[in-house]
Structure 1
Amino acid sequence: MPLVTARRGGLVEQVIEQLSAAIRDGEWAVGTKIPPEAELATSLDVGRNTVREAVRALAHGGLLEVRQGDGTFVRATSELSGALRKLCGDELREVLEVRRILEVDAARLAAVRRTNDDLADLRAAMVVRDTALHDAAVADPDANHTAVADAVRTDTDFHALVVRCAHNSLLSELYRGVAEAVAGSVAATMPPEIGTEKEVSHSGIVEAIAARDVERAAREAGEFLTRLIEQRA
């Protein structure tokens, strides 16, 4: 998304909004380095001090991370996400524990509240996920990085969909807040035997939700996370 020359008056706020939009809309993905200060100042037709103040504000909000001598990188896609990441940190065990808290009760609610359309979406998402896992397992070494990234993304999307099927807007918003941390935990725990029968299947979660079996849905959602947590005890 090309940056638009900022209007005079409230320049810092305008720059904050434009940089936030670039992050929010995916123009600058999490983990990527944003353009240097001088380039941003030229694109926006503002002073470097204005850009510096806007970047400082976004770093304080958790969206950006300034690495001295290396540049500024996108850390999260929203202030909520940044705040939650600060709370749970990047420690894998902590992220997995937060995921278990949110995903187990989300599965319970989904088993009660899911619609037929939700169920169709879940089954479709599981097929996409399983296909991506298989493709990652058989990918040419030169293309493996992309294939594994697709597997991580589709697995993360599947879990987010389960949460959405709970039909609790606050729970969904909280989960979106830790989306980057969830994706990181999926990537960190993706097993070497990706795509094989040893890979964790999520069919049990889907079928429990389909059967409106609340306790089984919770158990299916929590057991594999509990195993991952115990492995890091």
Structure 2
Amino acid sequence: MSTLIKRSLVVQAVEQLRQRIAEGAWAVGDRLPTEPELANELGISRNTVREAMRVLAFSGLVEIRQGDGSYLRTVQDPLQAVLALSRCTVEHAREARHVLEAEAIALAAERCTGDDLRELREALEHSRGHFHGEVEAYLCADMVFHQRLVDAAHNPALSELYRYFSGLVRAAVEHNMTRAPRCQATFDLHVEIVDALERHDPQQAKRLMRALIES
């Protein structure tokens, strides 16, 4: 019973803090009140405040800086976007990938650095070892690779958006891998994409990404 009560207090604290954020109590970038201050305002313990802040940090609303405090990251609750994405169909995911990944890969081909290419090839080698093995292990490695592809576009907005979107990509890839035998040609498209980035060929990179999405 005590655990349920504690959990209820955390949920209530999270809701109160979400409401204050929505009402404009703090601006993006503002340092939030300290744990003792919030505990006093909300009439709860510091431990409950700490747990509530962790929930807000996990959802992307708040950034906790060790030794410095908590800062408001956005006033738009990313959790709602995540919940909306979770209701998307495989076809929705495919369409969204064409819009996001194909365009991001074209930018990456123009902007990628030597460090980007090195990290991409490292991620590619890691995923190669799992392609014909356990699905879960491959999916984890493949998501790292795809995130690095988008990061190579050097557009923070795209990178952040893709972090929320990656769960939908993962579900789409898992759907494809479980409905048909794995094809080496599909993995080889990953290699060809990195080669196109190294040649700084955005059109080819985009074409290959569209082929990968449809594979």
TM-score class, shorter-chain normalisation, is: 0.5 to 0.7
- Please, which of 8, 17, 30 is the counterpart of residue 53 of structure 2? 17
Aligned to 2:167: 180
**8 Å contact from structure 1 (residues 88, 95) kept in 2:** no
Q: TM-score, normalised to structure 1's length?
A: 0.60
Aligned to 1:53: none
Aligned to 2:208: 220
Q: Which range moved further: 114-123 or 89-98?
A: 89-98
Task: Give distance in 1, aligned partners of 2:94 and 2:52.
Answer: 32
Query: Judging changes above 3 Å, is the alpha-carbon distance between structure 1 residues 23 and 155 closer, same or farther for their aligned structure 2 residues?
Result: same
What is the one-letter code of the residue matched to 1:103? E
Alignment of 1:25-104 (within 5 A): 79-80=77-78, 82-83=80-81, 85-86=83-84, 89-104=87-102
TM-aligned CA deviation for residue 79 of structure 1: 3.6
**8 Å contact from structure 1 (residues 128, 154) kept in 2:** yes
Structure with greater proportional helix content: 2
TM-aligned CA deviation for residue 19 of structure 1: 2.5
Q: TM-score, normalised to structure 2's length?
A: 0.64
**CA distances 1:177-212 after superposition (whole Å, capped 9, x unpaired):** 212212222212215433x52544211100000010
Query: Judging changes above 3 Å, is the alpha-carbon distance between structure 1 residues 111 and 199 closer, same or farther for their aligned structure 2 residues?
Result: closer
SS of corresponding position for 2:88: coil
Report the count of equivalent residues.
Answer: 161
What is the one-letter code of the residue matched to 1:157? V
SS of corresponding position for 1:133: coil
**8 Å contact from structure 2 (residues 193, 209) kept in 1:** yes
**8 Å contact from structure 1 (residues 152, 183) kept in 2:** yes
Aligned to 2:138: 151
Counterpart check, 1:211 vs 2:211 = no
Give 4+ residue runs of structure 1 displaced > 3 Å after superposition: 3-6, 11-16, 20-24
Unaligned runs of 5+ in 2: 1-9, 11-34, 61-74
Aligned to 1:7: 39
TM-aligned CA deviation for residue 171 of structure 1: 0.9
CA RMSD in angstroms, aligned pairs only = 3.0
What is the one-letter code of the residue matched to 1:224? L
Q: Which range moved further: 6-15 or 170-179?
A: 6-15
Task: Give distance in 2, aligned partners of 1:94 and 1:11.
Answer: 44
**8 Å contact from structure 2 (residues 85, 168) kept in 1:** no
TM-aligned CA deviation for residue 10 of structure 1: 2.7
SS of corresponding position for 1:107: helix
**8 Å contact from structure 1 (residues 155, 186) kept in 2:** no
**8 Å contact from structure 2 (residues 85, 165) kept in 1:** no
TM-aligned CA deviation for residue 16 of structure 1: 3.4
Task: Give distance in 2, aligned partners of 1:81 and 1:171.
Answer: 17
Unaligned runs of 5+ in 1: 25-60, 62-77, 137-146, 229-233
Task: Give distance in 1, aligned partners of 2:111 and 2:58.
Answer: 35
